[in-house]
Structures are given as structure tokens and as C-alpha cells.
Amino acid sequence: MLRALRRCRPGPVPLPALPPALGPGLGPGLGPGLCPAWAPRAVPVRGRKTRHDPPAKSKAGRVKLPPPVDPEELLVVLERYRQHRLVLSALRAEFRAEVLQRQREERLAAGGSAEELEEHRRLMAWNEEQNARQRARREERLRKEEEEQKRRKLEIAEKQARKMEAFLEEKEKEVLQLQEEAKNFITPENLEARIEECLDNPRNYNFAIDKDGRIVKRTVLS
């Protein structure tokens, strides 16, 4: 909570011997059970000593305490301040509006005759109309571009899909082909049989070719 209210807690307060003649020297509104050791009335003022001079021996045991605060009074005062500030800000806003209004009127009055104002208004209207036209055109353009973008995106997506499909088909074909060829592979089980087969059927790979490119497969060996 607020620092001032924390001071109001009845805590261990060092109470030096109170000077007997406190009387009218008491600060405003001393509440019950608050630190009453705050005696000095005088406002601290740098009289004879500068801030670099050491404090006197008589002040060796001096304990400076902050002024006592009455919590109820504090709350009341804070509430009053809050309302005061509200009213002040409202007043300021009103004065500001007044000043602005006066400036505007002055500017209008100094602006010239009625024809100038009329001309100004006409030009402003024309400007507004031009702006509106440009805006319409811009929006049209933007809309078209957006549609274009969408179409392009769709196309790209389709192309991608197609490519993907083609690729998958290719791969499928390859796989099937490989499966087909796998039937003719030589496996450890077939090895003996295939070797026997090859040895039983000798094939003649020899051939003759002349410069004209005619190939002759029938040779002397077969």
C-alpha cells in the first residue's frame, strides 16, 4: 500500500525522552499510538554550516523520523485530490476547446471573403471526387490482381498434382517391371540348375562384320 500508511503501523519505535514542553509544538493531528518522537518545529535551513561540514556532537544520537500520518485523514485527502484533479482536467479541456474555437474563428475571419471560401470548398470537393475515382480504380486493379494470383496458384497446384501422379505411375511401372524380371533372376537356389542349363546349351556369340555393316552370325564353330 502507500508508503505513508506504512508509517502508521505501531512498530518498534525508538522513543527518546520526550521534551516536557511539547504543547503547541505538536504537529498537526497527532493520532493515537503513532511515533510521537518527531519534535522539531523548525524547517531545516542551511544557516551557518554547509553540507560538507560534519554534524555537531549534540546531534550524535539524533534519530530523524518522518512526520506522522493519520491513515483516515490520508484516505480522505487522497479522495479529495482525485476529485480535484478530475475537475481540473475537465476545466482544462474546456478552456482548450475555447482556445481552439477562437483560433478557428480567427482563421476563418482572416481567411478572406465569401468567394474565396466558396472556391476553397469547391476545390476541396473536386479533390475528394478525384480521390474517390483513384480509389475505385485502385481497388479494381487490386481485385483483378488477387484473382490472377489465385488462378495462378490453382494452376500451380494442379501441375504439381499431375507431376506427382506421373511420377508415381513411373515408379509403379518400374516396380512391376522389376518384379517381372525378378522371375528370371539367378538365386542361390537356382544357381546349380542355371549353371547346368548354361553348360548344357552352349551359345555362340561370335559374328563377323564387314565394312558395309553386314553381320554374319553363322560361323565355322557352330
Partner 1 sequence: MVQLGSRLLRGRGGHVVIRFALGGCTNRPFFRIVAANSRRARDGKYLEQLGCLDPLPNAHGEKVAGLNLERLRYWLGCGAQLSRPAEKLLGLAGFLPLHPMTVTGAERLRRRRQREQQPEAAPADGSAEPGTSTGTSTGTAP
Binding site for partner 1 (CB under 8 A): 22, 28-32, 73, 76-77, 80-81, 83-84, 87-88, 91-92, 95-100
**Which is closer to partner 1, CB of 87 or CB of 161?**
87
Task: Choose between 83 and 206: whose C-beta lies nearer to partner 1.
Answer: 83
In the complex, least distance from residue 109 CB atom to partner 1, rounded to whole angstroms: 18
Q: How far is the CB of 33 from partner 1 (least distance, A)?
A: 10
Report, in Å, the least distance between residue 5 CB and partner 1: 16
Closest separation in Å from C-beta 86 to partner 1: 9
SS3 of the chain: the string is CCHHHHCCCCCCCCCCCCCCCCHHHCCCCCCCCCCCCCCCCCCCCCCCCCCCCCCCHHHCCCCCCCCCCCHHHHHHHHHHHHHHHHHHHHHHHHHHHHHHHHHHHHHHHHHCCHHHHHHHHHHHHHHHHHHHHHHHHHHHHHHHHHHHHHHHHHHHHHHHHHHHHHHHHHHHHHHHHHHHHHCCCCCHHHHHHHHHHHHHCCCCCCCEECCCCCEECCCCCC
Residue nearer to partner 1 on the CB measure, 91 or 125: 91
Closer Cβ to partner 1, 82 or 133, answer by number: 82
